[in-house]
Amino acid sequence: MTADKWLERVAVGVWAFFFLVAALAPWLVPYDPAYVDMQHVLEFPDAMYWLGTDSLGRDVLSRLIMGARVSIGFAFVAACCTMTAGLFIGTVGGWFGGRLDAAVQMIINVFQGIPGFSLMIALAGILEPGFTSMLLAVVLTSWTGFARVVRGEVLRIRSEHFIEGLRALGAGNAFILQHYVWRSLLPVISTLFTIRLGAVILSVSGLSYIGIGLQPPLADWGLMVNEGQTYFRTYPLLLYAPGSCIFLLCMAFHILGESLKRRFVSAGRVYK
């Protein structure tokens, strides 16, 4: 087995593990992740608390499990919204061309000229902290990557000879887009979507870490890192546990995305 295949299988295993934990979180948590118990503050791992407790006596393992549900759930919602916006705008620009395409390109260039994370911080800071503001900030700063790649692929597909044949047979734009163009975009979309999941998790954790993302008492890995840095020297597990989860999950999505890119995009495989 090659190193790439081995890494891919490990990444799939890590992704599947976190996905199952997130899906079964309500049944896996041993304690209420938001329950404050001042009689068990900063306890080290033992038979009762497998990963110990934090500065408020909350079970670290329970908060990690529920944090997986929050992080992965938000990442899927944000990535789906980003993909939908990018797919629609990129398809419109690439398929219809002309002034509409020029306007789409201008908007994409404007957004890409602004540092993504800086704009995300600004939007999240202006709006009230919470799920909706973070979702809006992530989507507005991420759709351009999808749209740019989709536009390029649509331009390539539009120039194929079979498209001219379909038009000669009387097929309309809606029929061609639905049955041929979007199906041909599946490899590219799946690759971008997988990589975007890891990027969203990292962005959300970063916003929560600096205090303008998800707010306490919600169990979120970025919040846990923020709370754990105070006790880095005396109780490093509070920092290492959520940080390791963020690293492993983002790395798994990145490896899977690169594997899909090698398998589909680099090979020039399209679905017709």
CB 64 within 8 Å of CB 18: no
Q: What is the pLDDT of residue 209?
A: 83
Q: What is the DSSP letter of 262?
A: I
Over range 9-28, report the average pLDDT: 91
pLDDT for 264 equals: 67
pLDDT surpassing 80 at residue 104: yes
**Cα separation of 243 and 209, whole Å?**
11
Find out whether 105 and 97 touch, Cβ atoms under 8 Å: no
CATH superfamily of this structure's domain 3-265: MetI-like (1.10.3720.10)
Q: Which of 43-52, 120-129, 192-201 has the weakest average pLDDT? A: 120-129
- Comparing 86 with 168, the larger pLDDT belongs to 86
Distance linking the first and last C-alpha atoms of the chain:
32
Q: Pinpoint the alpha helices (H) of the chain.
A: 3-23, 25-28, 60-96, 98-112, 116-126, 131-158, 161-168, 173-176, 182-184, 186-209, 221-228, 237-260
Domain ranges of the chain: 3-265
Report residue 241's pLDDT band, with 50, 70 and 90 as the boundaries: very high
- Which tens digits make up the pLDDT trace of 108-160? 888 777 776 777 777 777 777 777 778 888 888 888 888 888 888 888 888 87
In the chain, % of residues over pLDDT 90: 12
The total of other beta-carbon atoms located within 10 Å of residue 222's CB is 26
**Is the N-terminal amide bond of 30 cis, ω within 30° of 0?**
no
State pTM to two decimals. 0.84
Q: Which string of b and e fits 98-110 if b means at least 16 CB within 10 Å?
A: eeebeebeeebee
pLDDT digits (tens, 9 = 90+) for 251-270: 999 888 888 877 765 555 44
| Predicted pLDDT at 214 | 74
